[in-house]
């Protein structure tokens, strides 16, 4: 039996069969589509009851016709059985209330900056944004905006692309999104790091990484 403080990997989460949920980095995310604001608020209140009963509390966004939920075990920096249990409980609440999940809409954006001097660059961006810093990123203190991540590079080409987006999605969304992007005029630049990420470019050569949590460190 898995201890509630053991950090889970990709295979552990995939084996749980959480159809409503998408494993994004070290979190589980779900989007639900209530009929209106009142239905969404009732759903959030029921989620709150489940969270209090479990003593494990997710992040929740409520808008008209939208409830987005993110769970992670911050004490271990990733996912544990507590997150799986809470996800199952929330899925059951949604089913009881007749609220549908929308897993195809779940994704996460990170802005990546190539840098040869991570400490100095991070110090600047921490100062200018007022955000908190880690060894390789700065992040909004309440996680309300995309993370700015600093990627090591040894390139000094003057015309290199410095900023790019990392877009993380569920593994089963990679092929449809790549196909749509290529149909829209894009190109697949590099798939040698799949299934961690694929590099694509738009019609002007601007690159983006399409990412999954598969193959990453838990």
Domain CATH code at residue 177: 3.10.180.10
Question: Does residue 3 fall inside a structural domain?
Answer: no
Checking if the pLDDT of 3 tops 80, the result is no
Q: Tell whether 137 is covered by a domain.
A: yes
Residue ranges in the chain assigned as alpha helix (H): 10-15, 37-54, 81-97, 118-129, 174-183
H-assigned helices in 55-167: 81-97, 118-129
CATH code where residue 86 lies: 3.30.1360.20
Residue 20 domain boundaries: 10-105
**pLDDT for residue 177 is more than 90:** yes
Tens-place pLDDT, residues 31-87: 999 999 999 999 999 999 999 999 999 999 999 999 999 999 999 989 999 999 999
Q: How far is CA 67 from CA 58, 84, 103, in A?
A: 12, 18, 12
Q: Is residue 151 part of a domain?
A: yes
Indicate whether this model's pTM tops 0.75. Answer: yes
List, for residues 148-175, the tens digit of each pLDDT value. Answer: 999 988 777 766 788 999 999 999 999 9
Overall domain count for the chain = 2
Q: Are residues 151 and 206 located together in one domain of the fold?
A: yes
Domain boundary, last residue among 75, 105, 135: 105
Average pLDDT, rounded, for the chain? 93
Q: Domain check: are 144 and 187 in the same one? A: yes
| Cβ contacts of 101 within 8 Å, gap of 6 or more | 19, 20, 30, 31, 32, 33, 91, 94
In a domain, 118, yes or no: yes
pLDDT above 90: percentage of residues in the chain: 80
Contact 164, 208 (CB under 8 A): yes
- For residue range 24-41, list pLDDT tens digits in order: 989 999 999 999 999 999
* Residue 37 forms part of a structural domain: yes
């Amino acid at each position: 039996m898995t201890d509630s403080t053991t950090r889970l990997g990709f295979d552990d989460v995939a084996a749980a069969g959480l159809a409503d949920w998408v494993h994004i980095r070290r979190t589980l995310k779900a989007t639900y589509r209530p009929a209106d604001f009142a239905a969404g608020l009732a759903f959030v209140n029921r989620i709150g009851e489940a969270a209090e009963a479990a003593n494990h509390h997710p992040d929740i966004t409520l808008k008209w016709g939208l409830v987005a939920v993110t769970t992670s075990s911050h004490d271990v920096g990733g996912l544990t059985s507590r997150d799986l249990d809470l996800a199952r409980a929330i899925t059951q609440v949604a089913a009881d209330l007749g609220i549908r999940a929308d897993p195809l809409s779940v994704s996460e954006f990170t802005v990546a900056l190539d840098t040869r001097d991570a400490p100095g660059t991070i110090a600047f961006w921490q100062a200018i944004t007022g955000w908190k810093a880690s060894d390789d990123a700065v992040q909004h203190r309440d996680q309300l905006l995309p993370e700015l991540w600093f990627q090591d590079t040894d390139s000094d080409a003057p015309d290199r692309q410095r900023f790019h987006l990392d877009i993380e999605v569920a593994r089963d969304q990679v092929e449809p999104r790549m196909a749509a992007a290529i149909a829209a005029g894009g190109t697949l630049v590099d798939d040698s790091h799949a299934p961690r990420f694929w590099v694509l470019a738009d019609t002007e050569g601007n690159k983006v990484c399409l990412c999954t949590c598969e193959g990453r460190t838990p």
